[in-house]
Amino acid sequence: MSEVDLKQLKIQAENEVVAAKTMADLDLVFYKYLGKKGQLKLLFRGFAKLPESERKQLGVEINILQKRVENLVTIKKTALELVVVKPAAKAEDLGFTMPKIGHLHPITQTIRMMNKIFIAMGYSVMEGPEIESDGYNFRRLNVPPDHPARDMQDTIYIKEPDFLLRTHTSSVEARILAKYKPPLKVVCPGRVYRNEKVNKSNHFIFHHYQGLVVLPKVSLKDLFGTLNFLFKKMYGPKTVIRYRNKYYPEVEPGVGSDMLCFACQGKGCPLCKGVGWIEMGGAGIVHPNLLKIAGINSQKWMGFAFGLGLDRWVMAKYKINDIRTLLGGNLAYKYFEGENTLS
């Protein structure tokens, strides 16, 4: 059998597997190609008349084809089994109804709200691993091993110094820069970990919402406009925001974004530690080193990035005064149908 004949047989077998609509149809395809007298088995019968070099090569190709058809049959079988499973009887069919119970966690709801806002602005939503390498979590973000910024993040290591629980979703930003070419507009929500003291506003397990934009030209004006738009969409047009100069190794210049404390309205309370403001995240213009490390021409491209403390955005949205309740087992949040609020 020639190489052309094998390709034709492969196409024929694939088409017949795909066309099978019932388990009986799939069984016929299986026996036609993979049974003891199937077409693939019969191919080996003419081997004795072939030179040894041709037998070896043809045997490898037939085995590959056989494995390919077996995999396709297995996948198709799984798909057909899902189709033929009878759906469970509906409650109303059994003569009774039950109230709707359960609702999405406040964190999930907030992520979906923010994703919707950014998707409308042309962003993509991406995720990355929670167990991360030192390279993506630090070094590709302009934080070498001896950099003092590492002291700012009390890292939980899986295997020191190479593997750790990510301390921010900036690690996803580093992966995106390494894998994709600009222009880029992405957001990356996810869970992060730091060995921090737990109190009303801090936890060792929390969530970040990272954003990254890489274009030929951006400015702080673009960054502030994006964050202002997000704040207003999430909390209303009268939301009070401020920006402060702040250091982050992956951006230059860097800023901290604060919102007037939603618990005390600026008067000072335990949640805001008496200052009247709550830091909602950090941001800035992407440091050229990040682009250079990723092989991106920093003379041609520039960007801005922001990392938001997602749990605090959740707390502000639902007037929750203690971050610890978000990860506790207490069912403290009651959902009111028709209202986007929790108490």
Which DSSP letter does residue 21 get? -
Is 2:54 a contact under the CB 8 Å cutoff?
no
For residue 245, what pLDDT band results from cuts at 50, 70 and 90? very high
Where in the chain are the domains? Answer: 3-84, 106-327
- The verdict on pTM exceeding 0.75 is no
Of 5-14, 164-173, 238-247, 271-280, the one with minimum mean pLDDT is 5-14
Of 9-18, 34-43, 259-268, the one with minimum mean pLDDT is 34-43
What pairs with residue 256 in β-bridges?
244, 282
Kindly report the average pLDDT of the chain as a whole number: 84
**In the predicted structure, residue 4 carries a pLDDT above the cut 90:** no
Give the pLDDT confidence of 46-81 residue by residue, as tens digits. Answer: 666 777 777 777 778 888 888 888 888 888 887 776
Cα 78 from chain centroid (whole Å): 27
The Cβ-side half-sphere exposure at 328, using a 13 Å CA radius, reads 10
What per-residue confidence (pLDDT) applies to 117? Answer: 95
Residues 6+ apart with CB under 8 A from 193: 130, 156, 165, 166, 167, 204, 205
Residues 6+ apart with CB under 8 A from 231: 239, 241, 259, 280
Nearest C-alpha neighbor of 246 from the set 211, 283, 213, 276: 283
**Higher pLDDT residue, 13 or 114?**
114
What per-residue confidence (pLDDT) applies to 84? Answer: 46
Handedness of CA 226, 232, 238, 244 (dihedral sign): negative
Residues 6+ apart with CB under 8 A from 293: 139, 140, 142, 177
**In the predicted structure, residue 334 carries a pLDDT above the cut 60:** no
Residues comprising the chain, all counted: 343
Of 92-96, 298-302, 338-342, the one with minimum mean pLDDT is 338-342
Is 145:160 a contact under the CB 8 Å cutoff?
no
Is 248:226 a contact under the CB 8 Å cutoff?
no
What per-residue confidence (pLDDT) applies to 145? Answer: 80
What does CATH list as the number for 106-327? 3.30.930.10
What per-residue confidence (pLDDT) applies to 341? Answer: 40
**Higher pLDDT residue, 87 or 24?**
24
